[in-house]
Amino acid sequence: MWNIYLRAKEISGCGISGIIHRKGELIPGEMIIKSICCQYERGNGLGAGFAAYGIYPEFKDFYALHVMGQCRESLERVEEFLHKRTYVSFQEPIPTRRVKTIKNPPLFKRYFVRPKFEGEIVEAEDGQSEDDFMVNLVMEINEKISGAYVISSGKNMGVFKGVGFPDEIAEFFRIDEYQAYIWTAHNRFPTNTPGWWGGAHPFTLLDWSIVHNGEISSYGTNKRYLELFGYKCTLLTDTEVVAYILDLLIRRHGLPLELACKVMAPPFWIEIDEMDEEDRELYTALRMVYGGAVLNGPFAILFAYNGGLVGLNDRVKLRPLVVANKGDLYVMGSEEAAIRTILPDPERVWAPKAGEPVIVEMEEATIPNQKSYLKVRPKEEREDALRIGSYPLSLFTSK
Amino acid sequence: MPLELEVTPFHYSQVNKIIREHISKGEREFVLRGVNGHRYLFAGVSAEVSAVIYGTPGLDLGAFMRGPVIRVFGSVQDGAGNTMDHGKIIVHGMAGDVIGYAMRGGKIHIFGDVGYRVGIHMKAYMDKVPVIIIGGKAGDFLGEYMAGGIIILLGMNTIYPERPIAGLFLGTGMHGGAIYIRGKVRENQLGLGLKPYALDSDDEKLLESYLKEYCDDFGLDISEILKEDFIKIIPYTHRPYGKLYAY
Amino acid sequence: MSTPIFANFHPDFYVERLWDKCIKCKRCIRECTYGVHIWDEKKKTLKEDHTKCVGCHRCSAMCPTNALIIRRHPSDFREHALWTPWFIKNIYKQADQGGVLLTSTGCALPYKNYFDHLVIDACQVTNPPIDPLREPMELRTFIGPKPEAVEVEEVNGRFRLKKKLPPVIRIEVPIMFAGMSYGAISLHVHQGLARAARDLGTLYNTGEGGLHASLYEYGANTIVQCASGRFGLHIDYLNAGVAIEIKIGQGAKPGIGGHLPGEKVTEEISKTRMIPVGSDALSPAPHHDIYSIEDLRGLIFALKEATEYKKLVFVKIAAVHNVAAIASGIVRAGADAVVIDGLKGGTGASPTMFRDNIGIPIELAISAVDKRLREEGIRHRTSIIASGGIRCSADVVKAIALGADAVYIGTAALIACGCTMCQRCHTGKCPWGIATNNPELMKRLPPEVAYEKIYNLVKGWAHEIKEMLGAMGINSIESLKGNRDKLRAVGLTREEMEILEVKHAGE
């Protein structure tokens, strides 16, 4: 049995790479493999993974579930569950190759599904969005079906990850056979060895995928903060809190992506104190309200979604991050070498400022179901019973 | 011309805001109609203004205020004159519990009865002496913990003919100030160690001047009030609990 | 035959005079406020009344030739694990005087001190410690309610706040000074605290005795207290600071009110408090306008109305069994900050039984309150200020990691001013000039000295906190708040660890 709910928080160092084409041209898997393998020394063979966007154009409107099973029965249980709760349009084993060094890998299948709202079989609450439905579904599978684990669940994207060096994992999952308009990759150096495939990066929530280098020292605070909003940090990885914070800030609170990044890596007070009044108020408010969402400690993260790739550093630059572009092709990585190995003659190479996000979004209407997070969006309806000015007495409950 | 406000539809904080705005613009007289349960009216207002209130103001009328003279045609609820500093509250009806709590100055004149714990912890310094005059009867703990000030209890305009003029534990723990009572109280009503005294001529002069103002406020005849003798209750020591501790 | 005073047969301390050093200058006589040192005119020599010595060490500190040593009195009782000298002597005192035992400072019994069973994390290899000497390290903290989310709008390509946030108080170090009344401590200490608060960018608290005219200029760094005695409480006072603290209770004496013994009610104090000179300033156990939680809401909004919603209102309670539920009610009643004062909280006068036996330890209370407010989704609507027994900067770090936003210190600030913890504040005779307003004794601690010592203390602590944050790999205090991951227990039971939500060391 896999021990998904680890007792202790994982600690790991890493290397990361990401590629995006702004016009949606497809990038062969070969490129991302080369880039991440160039950073071979940053891992220790205990985890690697890839996220690819745009790989399932024929099922672009379906949630693609990549499911890992310990054995045939656990996958059968997942299938039974999926048929009850979703419309499964197509399913197949994820193609793999035999790799000498990978012994007894788990089984992998992918399912293309849509939520099944109507009927008596599921109780779907009014107004529950498809995304919420899928998030709950995935959590339920991970929590309740032993031996099965959903690795990714976004539309037109998928994650391939496991225990091994990046070249081994790429070989195993036949990454070279895919083409994508966004790629991210991870090479892992964990200090503890739970030795399970789900612990590798990228970590996902719907079409958000995250690869992360560093350890977030504020994990305890972030975890407790997220619990306030109903997120259960069960995987005990830093990366998980990043995903939930993004979901909270962007999807639920409607913050634009830049500001969400500024929440995670806030400017210093000495900088805020120098800002003009409007900015000072804004950034003071962000720090005051979202103190629990600050990612403190060393990190460089790449996160991707259907339509964009973002690189972000901690605010004192404790982890490296380099970005380069040539035309519409943008590459990010822990090392400049990882970029030059696939893009020998970039137009521009730069190291982003600490805490300054690099946000590369595709041109408008380039891909199906495209998302953009650069604008303010309506906040999710929630009653915050703030007090001054209007105090409905109903809010006051005597003990 | 006083500023007339019909406050029924407003929340108390809006009413107070309106009042404050007009005070800052120089308005000095207010008439509030339709008051019913509005809390904290004139709380913390520091200005020499006057107001007439029709209705039943809610909790803490005139709390912490310094200056306003408020006449209420109706009754007042608990906490009127809470920690009031200066000014006056005239109540044509009756009053709830804990009236004039920790009052530091000013006057509260009540036509009818009052509830429990009225005038507790009143204070005084030099010529800053708060005064509460009660036309009716009072509940228990009148003047509890008093450190200064004056309470005058008349027991005349009451709706409780069956009750004694004051409840139990009268002046319990008082270490300053004085309570004057028209008529008599039983000694077991008094707080521990207290005794009733007859009035001396200074007391009488003082009482008369306070009562004259009270009668003016309500159109009463002072001679009617003075027909009966008063007693005085004052602390027997300024340190009633001084022997409580072992050092 | 007169009744013997048993307590006098068994003095606590012994004053040893080194005759080869003593020059009979009589300085000790002038310094001692308890009458221990006596001049024998006949024999032209000094003698001592050991029974009066409280162990304050003023005489030995001031003796120009170092001729005095204060020791525990060497004459012992026969050992007995249960009937220790403490209990025996207390019984003598009460048998002699028939009263309630009165004492000062915080709980003196050796209950388990949870701070001493929690250890702090540090980075090694997998993430880097940060060097606070050369890299930024932020302690800025905001006290008060915050919305759950920030609403932003876009105007001309720039983001700005859609709705301004409700008022909050900014402090530059998460350490504030606890309420200690003018009366309990000297005006000079108040002045020192106020100035230190201003220069440190934090707040001091007036306590319940009103505010001296000389202190109004420190308003931006002042919390004024509204306790049940309502001493010195008028509209200018309420408007003087940035926050008003309703004191429901304090850790040193939960369930009873403030107590300033008549010995300390001097002419000046009488004027501020508006009570007769020499009378005991006894605050009622309850606020008589608060007999229930809805009444607390009544007072909170009376204060807010009176100050036109410009001031935050804190509510201070003693940590008692049901502290979590009570705190929740306080937040729902509209308090902008909840102050929790634990079992170890100090005081200038408390019945000994209360000081030593009532209340629960602050560490457990912080954890329970933080947890409850989180569960109810109202944590952001208030700040938690923890107080009672904070002795060093590590205690501050632990309190914040357990869920506090900031702490109050009281006793520590007084010790910084020279207090030797003789626990006789209630006598008004403080020989160090701290807990007294006797005009002669006050001179022993000028305001500038009080200021400098208190300022230095907090400055030192602030730097230590930065060092510890750096060691943990974080560079701003908000990432410590509620971060149980940074704490581990040593020698606690499963149950205690569950309440504190910490793992055991080694886990």
Task: Note whether residue C211 is domain-resident.
Answer: yes
Q: Which of A224, A238, A250, A377 to mutate to test the interface with C (most CBs of C within 10 A)?
A: A224
**CA-CA distance, C142 to A107, in Å (whole number)?**
51
Domain that holds residue C281: 141-504
The DSSP line for C316-371 is EEE--TTHHHHHHHHHHTT-SEEEEE-TT---SSEEHHHHHHSS--HHHHHHHHHH
CB contact under 8 A, C136 and A268: yes
Do C161 and C91 fall into the same domain? no
**pLDDT number for residue A379:** 61
Task: Note whether residue C129 is domain-resident.
Answer: no
Question: Which residues in chain C touch residue B125, judged by CB atoms under 8 angstroms apart?
Answer: 270-271, 274
Beta strands in C12-99 (DSSP E): 13-17, 37-40, 45-48, 68-72
Determine whether A250 is exposed, middle or buried from the number of CB atoms within 10 Å of its CB (0-12, 13-18, 19+). Answer: buried
| Residues within 8 A of C (CB atoms), A 323-382 only | 375-376, 379, 382
Q: pLDDT tens digit string along B30-79? A: 999 999 999 999 999 999 999 999 999 999 999 999 999 999 999 999 99
Residue of B nearest to C263 (CA): B242
**pLDDT number for residue A175:** 97
DSSP C3: P
Task: Note whether residue C201 is domain-resident.
Answer: yes
**pLDDT number for residue A385:** 33
Determine whether B42 is exposed, middle or buried from the number of CB atoms within 10 Å of its CB (0-12, 13-18, 19+). Answer: buried
Helix (H), strand (E) counts: chain C: 15, 23
**pLDDT number for residue A14:** 83
**pLDDT number for residue A380:** 54
Task: Note whether residue C147 is domain-resident.
Answer: yes
pLDDT in tens, chain A (399 residues): 344 444 455 556 688 999 999 999 999 999 999 999 888 788 877 889 999 999 999 999 999 999 999 999 999 999 999 999 999 999 999 999 999 999 889 999 999 999 987 654 444 444 457 888 888 899 889 888 989 999 999 999 999 999 999 999 999 999 999 999 999 999 988 765 456 788 888 988 889 999 988 888 899 999 999 999 888 776 667 788 898 899 899 988 999 999 999 999 999 999 999 999 999 999 999 999 999 999 998 899 999 999 999 999 999 888 899 999 999 999 999 989 899 999 999 999 999 999 999 999 999 999 999 999 988 877 654 443 332 233 332 222 232
Q: Give the pLDDT mean for C65-74.
A: 96
Do C155 and C280 fall into the same domain? yes
Mean pLDDT is lowest, of B185-189, C391-395, C492-496, for B185-189
Task: Note whether residue C340 is domain-resident.
Answer: yes
Q: Considering chain B, what is the average pLDDT of its residues?
A: 95
Do C54 and C158 fall into the same domain? no
Task: Note whether residue C119 is domain-resident.
Answer: no
Cα A390 to Cα A279, B12, C297, C334, distances in angstroms: 28, 11, 14, 12
Residue B242: count other Cβ atoms within 10 Å of its Cβ: 16
Mean pLDDT is lowest, of A214-228, B195-209, C96-110, for A214-228
Chain B nearest CA to C492, separation (Å)? 37
Across the interface, of C235, C271, C279, the residue whose CB is closest to B44 is C235
**pLDDT number for residue A133:** 87
Across the interface, of C165, C379, C484, the residue whose CB is closest to A220 is C484
Q: Considering chain C, what is the average pLDDT of its residues?
A: 95
**Which residue among C68, C99, C130 closes a domain?**
C99
CB contact under 8 A, C427 and B13: no
DSSP C60: H
Do C217 and C81 fall into the same domain? no
Share of residues in chain C with pLDDT > 70 (%): 100
CB contact under 8 A, A282 and C160: yes
Do C372 and C496 fall into the same domain? yes
Helix (H), strand (E) counts: chain B: 3, 12
Task: Note whether residue C390 is domain-resident.
Answer: yes
Domains of chain A: 12-214+317-371 (3.60.20.10), 216-296 (no CATH)
How, if at all, do strands C312-318 and C337-341 pair?
parallel
**pLDDT number for residue A243:** 87
For chain C, list the contacting chains (3+ Cβ pairs, <8 Å).
A, B
**CA-CA distance, A189 to A367, in Å (whole number)?**
34
Q: Please report which confidence band the pLDDT of residue B95 belongs to, taking 50, 70 and 90 as the band edges.
A: very high
CB contact under 8 A, A289 and C140: no
Task: Note whether residue B167 is domain-resident.
Answer: yes
Task: Note whether residue B242 is domain-resident.
Answer: no
**pLDDT number for residue C65:** 97
CB contact under 8 A, A289 and C161: no
Do C91 and C154 fall into the same domain? no
CB contact under 8 A, A282 and C474: no
Question: Which residues in chain C touch residue B120, judged by CB atoms under 8 angstroms apart?
Answer: 284, 288
The identity of residue B102, as a single letter, is A
Task: Note whether residue C336 is domain-resident.
Answer: yes
Q: C181: domain CATH number?
A: 3.20.20.70
Do C170 and C85 fall into the same domain? no
Across the interface, of C261, C279, C351, the residue whose CB is closest to B176 is C279
Do C217 and C319 fall into the same domain? yes
Q: Give the pLDDT mean for C152-172.
A: 93
Interchain contact A289–C (C-beta under 8 A)? yes
Q: B55: domain CATH number?
A: 2.160.20.60
Do C176 and C293 fall into the same domain? yes
**pLDDT number for residue A397:** 28
Do C264 and C189 fall into the same domain? yes
Interchain contact C62–B (C-beta under 8 A)? no
Higher pLDDT, A201 or C46: C46
Interchain contact B113–C (C-beta under 8 A)? no
Interchain contact B84–C (C-beta under 8 A)? no
**pLDDT number for residue A235:** 65
**pLDDT number for residue A393:** 29
Which of these is catalytic: A14, A37, A38, A233?
Answer: A14
Do C93 and C166 fall into the same domain? no
Higher pLDDT, A351 or C58: C58
Cα B177 to Cα A95, B103, B189, C207, distances in angstroms: 94, 12, 18, 25
Question: Which residues in chain C touch residue B44, judged by CB atoms under 8 angstroms apart?
Answer: 235, 238-239, 305-308
**pLDDT number for residue A399:** 27
Interchain contact A282–C (C-beta under 8 A)? yes
**pLDDT number for residue A234:** 67
Q: State yes or no: cis peptide before A202, omega within 30 of 0.
A: yes
Question: Which residues in chain C touch residue A269, judged by CB atoms under 8 angstroms apart?
Answer: 138, 140
Q: How many domains does chain C have?
A: 2
Phi-psi region of C145 (alpha: psi -120 to 50; beta: other; left: phi over 0): beta
Residue B26: count other Cβ atoms within 10 Å of its Cβ: 6
**pLDDT number for residue B68:** 98
Q: Give the pLDDT mean for C382-403.
A: 98
**Which residue among C70, C99, C128 closes a domain?**
C99
Question: Which residues in chain C touch residue A7, judged by CB atoms under 8 angstroms apart?
Answer: 507
**CA-CA distance, C428 to C34, in Å (whole number)?**
11
| Residues within 8 A of C (CB atoms), A 229-258 only | 252-256, 258
In C201-282, alpha helices (H): 235-240, 267-273
CB contact under 8 A, A296 and C473: yes
Do C85 and C214 fall into the same domain? no
CB contact under 8 A, B85 and C270: no
Interchain contact A399–C (C-beta under 8 A)? yes
Domain that holds residue B61: 3-233
Q: How many domains does chain B have?
A: 1
A233 is catalytic: no
Predicted-complex ipTM score: 0.90
